[in-house]
Structure 1
Amino acid sequence: MAGTLTNSARPLPLSKEQAGWVTRAWSQIDEGRLAELNRQMASIPSPTGEERELAQFMASYMNACGFSAFYQPIDENQGNAVGKLSGSGNGVELLLYAPVDTAFSGKAEEDCPWVGLTVPAEMTTEAYIKDGDVIGLGAENPKGYAACVVGAAEAVQRSGIPLKGGVVVGLGAGGMPTNKRPSIHRFNAGQGSGCAFMLEQGIRGDFAIIAKPGYAVSWEEVGLCWFRICVKGSLGYTGVRHVVGGRNPIVDAAKIITLLEEWFPKYSQRNTSGLVCPQGSINAIEAGWSYKPAFIPAVCNLYVDLRISPRTSPTEAKHQFEEAIREIRRAHPELNLEWDMVLAIPGTATDPASWIIQSCMRAWEYVEGKKHAPRQGTSGATDANILRAWGIPTARLGMPRLKNSSKEQRPVFSMETSNVSGMKQLTKCLVYAIIDTCTRDRAEILKGG
């Protein structure tokens, strides 16, 4: 079963020659070069829907490193970068994938006040390196991971290792969980749109590794469903509320928020299995006029992000949410609300016995010198769901959260600080997986997973 916990890798030692190739490729991983690439990437704006400049830069960088690389346009502002290392043709093809778009723009007019009253210094494109960290907008997630993907393939290329299977580096646009940003015209700019376009246009692999947070090999992750709740009230005015009465939908929405917050833990407990513990949260509210708060709006909209297990379909999640709303209505018949599901991306899983999962666990154990243990209780979603939905067995692996040279530990939620030593650890794991996978005959790989 895809949700079965597998604590360590199935043994398959490297040959003496392969082990030598790993050592040789690891010697080509230059922390300074990796950090500088990460800094340059974090210095180029790439909010969802506007990744063209960064993708073109990365295509040029990979070409200069000896890849066969190109920019893949999606529209005038958005596109992917693709780089290829060819094999002899009798091995499997491995796709190393990472998105490159940032969740935030770094612009006060779009991000504030929701990221803070002003844009934090670390959330700008004035990226820098300090105490072994690269700091800047998206420096860790996603750009540190993308730098590791490129750095691993570059180390293998510089080492002159004879590959049987090809390596494809895919740097995708539109990976963040977002719909249309205010400044762009295309609605479907996020939610894995760049990844899906890349696959649709023939950029694929027999297996894939996606570099995203979590320093353990993951073979499954949650999907997500978004719901809009429309809470209805009466258009009114503060000056006469005591005379005409009526319901304030903002006040009723506050009651619904409290009730849903009580329901979310029950939902999580009901749907926890395997590696996932799906969470729910109310993360956006629409109501009223900020420039004329003398008037009571007739409607207040709430937006719910509900994560779903690979073993729970979006339709089943919708039914569970419907049960919760029905209970709220039963207990509070005075509330007037409507709701609908406005996004549905299924969770996905790859069999943990698959070659690529086992290879990545072997890589992790080779680097760390101890048995692999999977992370449980996860609720993050990535483009791994897109890769798997298109039929590609996919492993997810991130970098460790290491302290910098000043002994500072990053916050639990941080996308702007990328530790260079942690990047090197991930890059070493990726190098091992490339050599383990792409220097064997195709028949051996397919027989092994």
Structure 2
Amino acid sequence: MQPTVSVPFSAEQMMWYEQACARIDPKRLQSLLFDLTNIHSPTGAAGAASQFMTRHLESVGLSARYQPMSATSGNVLAERRGSGGGASVLLYAPIDTHLEGDETQEILTGKAPEADMQPSARMIDDWVFGLGASNPKGMVATLTEVATALIEAEVPLVGDLLVGMADGGMPVDIAGRDHAGMSNGVFHLLNRGGSPDFAVIMKPWNWVYHEEPGMAWFKLRVHGTLGYAGVPRDIPGFRSSVVPAATVIQELERWIIDYAERNTSGQIKPHGWIAGVRGGDVQRPAFPSAVTEIFFDVRVNPRTSPADVKAQFAAFVRELQAQRPELDLDWEMYGSVAGGSTDPQNWIIQSCQRGWEHIEHRPHGQADLLGGQTDGAALRRLGIPTARIGWPWPAQGAPLPVAEGLGGMGATYVPDLIPCAKKIMYALIDTLTRSRHELDL
């Protein structure tokens, strides 16, 4: 990790920066976050949330427009133009939540009584709770507050500020809503006027990242024969698919852990997890299933293609079958998204690192290895230099019970967001008050 390139602010830039930071209002941010969290927006059905943000961004001084993708889905793109001759910077966050937030997902979420799992908002002191209140809606609200403060401070921008939020940002594929997810919304946004010179995406954790992984989804099927509970285990011709699947799961778990280690490089450790096992019919428990299906996601390092990951998995299956010839297996890759990387010396990466160091009062150094996948990978694959910057997560000390593990990503302590807002503001002043020539464009 090379030291951050030093490009000091002029006295005038520092004055603009301090004036803009002074305009950042945590209570206003919290109010917007509460209102947005109260608008349920599962993937493929975030249209109402995007329309709400279109109206809000227009009210704070940006030119905003709603971009429909279907009857229930759409994006928002807003702009504040500078005097001309500068770069355009897109502040971006997805706006959809990863869960439906209803009883249909109980097998995925459990009973989920916690405040962060509910599709409606609660506010206690400096906290906001509700499905997606941290990720993605905490990011949406923070980026909006940064843009609002920048406008209120009347910073004389040379370049253009863009603010974009898109549906389809979650790592899901919702067939019933036109296969929403897997970054379909951000492609729509960029192809309809939203493509900038640089982009900043806000996501956990408290580092600047110049790259993010993709993902690869696999189904591994264990075959047997249809059985019946009333026959003995030595009945001729019956082979269970369920019991051998337990062996396959253990072998697969070991392979996923080894895969992550072997494919770690740069800022990325491409973790993976077995997501579930499917087979049989709960209405017919007397009949053991002829097929047991195991499905999982492994992340894809930007220096590794989905095709290479597919080849690695194929080699694992071949070796497993050679070692355990009694197993009858087949598999498929049913989803893949490539990772994306930006040159770490690119202006926007270095600018965000300067902002990070200005607030943290220490060198940025090597970031913690990353496995989380976001629309940032898609932005980079489309040739847009993109920096990911975030805040400490998960929030600590919540006054209400929150779900263990990932949960609803919906417990936000607003003061945690403010340092990140100031880091992003630094990068905006650093970039939008310079000419294209100064930025090597």
- Please classify the TM superposition score into its range, dividing by the shorter chain length: over 0.9
**Counterpart for residue 51 of structure 2:** 56
Residue 99 of structure 1 deviates from its aligned partner by 0.2
**Counterpart for residue 346 of structure 1:** 338
Distance in 1 between the 2:221 and 2:346 partners? 44
Asked if 1:70 is matched to 2:65, the reply is: yes
Unpaired runs of 5+ residues, structure 1, are: none
CA contact (8 A) 1:133 1:404 kept: no
CA deviations on 1:325-352 (whole Å, 9 max, x unpaired) are 1111011101111111111111111000
**Counterpart for residue 162 of structure 1:** 156
Distance in 1 between the 2:366 and 2:132 partners? 25
**Counterpart for residue 406 of structure 2:** 413
**Counterpart for residue 235 of structure 1:** 226
Counterpart residue identity of residue 187, structure 2: A
Asked if 1:14 is matched to 2:9, the reply is: yes
Distance in 2 between the 1:322 and 1:346 partners? 18
Asked if 1:307 is matched to 2:299, the reply is: yes
Distance in 1 between the 2:192 and 2:100 partners? 28
Residue 410 of structure 1 deviates from its aligned partner by 9.7
**Counterpart for residue 202 of structure 2:** 211
Counterpart residue identity of residue 134, structure 1: V
Q: How does 1:19-418 map to 2 (within 5 A)?
A: 19-109=14-104, 111-180=105-174, 184-187=176-179, 189-242=180-233, 243-244=235-236, 246-401=238-393, 403-404=396-397, 413=406, 415-418=409-412
CA contact (8 A) 1:47 1:103 kept: yes
Moved more, 373-382 or 152-161: 373-382
Distance in 1 between the 2:354 and 2:402 partners? 27
Distance in 2 between the 1:344 and 1:122 partners? 29
Name the TM-score, length of structure 2 as normaliser.
0.96
CA spacing shift, 1:64–1:259, aligned 2, 3 Å? same
CA contact (8 A) 1:11 1:362 kept: yes
CA contact (8 A) 1:232 1:300 kept: yes
CA spacing shift, 1:393–1:363, aligned 2, 3 Å? same
Counterpart residue identity of residue 188, structure 2: F
For the residue of structure 1 that corresponds to 2:35, the secondary structure is: helix
Name the TM-score, length of structure 1 as normaliser.
0.94
**Counterpart for residue 446 of structure 1:** 440
For the residue of structure 2 that corresponds to 1:343, the secondary structure is: strand
For the residue of structure 1 that corresponds to 2:283, the secondary structure is: coil
Residue 265 of structure 1 deviates from its aligned partner by 2.0
CA contact (8 A) 2:201 2:388 kept: yes
CA spacing shift, 1:191–1:250, aligned 2, 3 Å? same
CA spacing shift, 1:249–1:406, aligned 2, 3 Å? closer
Counterpart residue identity of residue 150, structure 1: T
Residue 244 of structure 1 deviates from its aligned partner by 4.4
Residue 193 of structure 1 deviates from its aligned partner by 0.4
Q: What is the root-mean-square deviation in Å for CA atoms of aligned residues?
A: 1.8
Counterpart residue identity of residue 387, structure 2: A
Residue 266 of structure 1 deviates from its aligned partner by 1.6
Distance in 2 between the 1:25 and 1:408 partners? 36
CA deviations on 1:1-20 (whole Å, 9 max, x unpaired) are xxxx34x4210111111101
CA spacing shift, 1:18–1:410, aligned 2, 3 Å? farther
Distance in 1 between the 2:294 and 2:343 partners? 37
Moved more, 422-431 or 349-358: 422-431
For the residue of structure 1 that corresponds to 2:275, the secondary structure is: strand
CA contact (8 A) 2:197 2:384 kept: yes
Counterpart residue identity of residue 78, structure 1: S
Distance in 2 between the 1:185 and 1:421 partners? 36
Distance in 1 between the 2:86 and 2:325 partners? 64
CA contact (8 A) 1:400 1:425 kept: no
Unpaired runs of 5+ residues, structure 2, are: none
Aligned length in residues: 438
Counterpart residue identity of residue 83, structure 2: S
CA deviations on 1:404-442 (whole Å, 9 max, x unpaired) are 587999966351111211111111111111111000011
CA contact (8 A) 1:97 1:208 kept: yes
Distance in 1 between the 2:61 and 2:368 partners? 39
Residue 258 of structure 1 deviates from its aligned partner by 0.4
CA contact (8 A) 1:216 1:373 kept: no
Counterpart residue identity of residue 363, structure 1: G
**Counterpart for residue 422 of structure 2:** 428
